[in-house]
Amino acid sequence: MRIAARVGVALACLCVLSAPAGAQDSLTQAKGLYDSASYSEALSALNEIGATADVIEVEKYRALCLLALNRPKDAEQSLERLAMTRPLFTLDGADASPKLVALFQDVRKRTLPEASRQFYQRARASFERGDMAAAAQQFKDVIAMAEAADNTAMMDDLKMVSAGFLKLAQEALAPKPEVRAAVAAPAVGTPAVGEPATSTAAATAKDIVPATVTPRTEALSVAARARIAAMTGAKIYEASDTMVTPAAAIARPIPKWQRPSALNFASFEGLLEVIVAEDGSVAEATMVKAINPAYDRLLMDAAKNWRFHAARLGDEAVRYRLTYSIVMPAVQR
């Protein structure tokens, strides 16, 4: 009886220990199959591994198997998943073959801008819901990605904006200094002629009021803001957004069309769409409905020089879409 009881306890312990070990052994099994050149079987084992497994090891061995099976495009897709999930991860010769390292470097270089954009959006979401600890770390990651990417203007702009938000998040996380009420004291001395009289209390109150800090996006050029908006998916408002004060035209001259004489007796109607930037300039101009290829180009070039009062959401200037009907009547003799 005692022997049977001991055997039962041992089997129970073995079952408890084998459950997590089984999940861990799936990756070990896949690695063993790869080492034995059983690449298809290794892929099958990798496909059975759950989402909690180490994504780096899973995708690395998946790509190795696919390369061994002469499936470079599929291997590239596996490395893209790795690069988008862990954009700060780098692969060197100690971890994999030179062929895999070179392929991963190319994939990472190509995907870093998109990964930076996605991580920036997550950081902004964390910031806007007040999770400053998460936002600070995420903005640090975005800055590191921008530094690792090719030195393009878009990456420089994203780095600058992320640094501004990082500073705000860090200031929100910093311990707040104890603010004591200022005690009024009699003014010392007599102010000089023309100088306003100030008290110690007034000066102290001025000193303890914290300045409001905002990311210096206003310091960026129009082109830089347009690049950031395009990259991060900044919202473009339109007439259906009733809470927004629409953009209003200041100057929008329509160019003359020196049409061919054969077209004098026909009338034309087109639709021109413009995106008004936060400073009232035109960020984009597009012919939604064409008139004539030559005149369409002339009209869009002219529209890029139009000026507007920017649309506003409360006190904030926002991007706004306007659509104009352009009618060119027939030329009367």
- Write the pLDDT tens digit of every residue in 164-220: 888 888 888 888 766 554 444 444 444 443 333 333 333 333 333 333 334 444 445
Long-range pairs for 64-73: beta carbons < 8 A, 24 or more residues apart: 64/34, 64/96, 64/97, 64/100, 65/34, 65/39, 65/40, 67/99, 67/100, 67/103, 68/34, 68/37, 68/39, 69/39, 69/40, 69/43, 72/103
78 shares a domain with 157: no
Residue 150 C-beta-side C-alpha neighbours within 13 Å:
12
CATH of the domain at 297: 3.30.2420.10
Q: Which of 118, 169, 126, 171 is nearest to 145 (CA)?
A: 118
* Residues 282 and 306 both lie in one domain: yes
Decide which of 86, 119, 144 is a domain's last residue.
Answer: 86
pLDDT classification of 128: cutoffs 50, 70, 90? confident
Q: Are residues 241 and 229 both part of a single domain?
A: no
- Which has the minimum average pLDDT: 146-155, 218-227, 304-313? 218-227
- The pLDDT assigned to 27 comes to 84
How far apart (Å, rounded) are the C-alpha atoms in residues 280 and 257? Answer: 26
Q: What is the pLDDT of residues 140-153, one digit of tens each?
A: 999 999 888 876 77
Instruction: Report the share of the chain in percent with pLDDT over 70.
Output: 73
Domain limit, last residue, from 206, 234, 262: 234
245 and 318, same domain (yes or no):
yes
Q: Is the pLDDT of residue 257 over 60?
A: yes
Query: Is pTM, for the whole model, over 0.85?
Result: no
Asked whether residue 191 is domain-assigned, the answer is no
Domain that holds residue 61: 18-86
Domain total for the chain? 3
Phi-psi region of 314 (alpha: psi -120 to 50; beta: other; left: phi over 0): left
Average pLDDT over residues 275-292: 89
- Tell me whether residue 268 is in a domain: yes
Nearest to 123 by CA among 131, 167, 114, 214: 131
Residue 259 and residue 230 share a domain? no
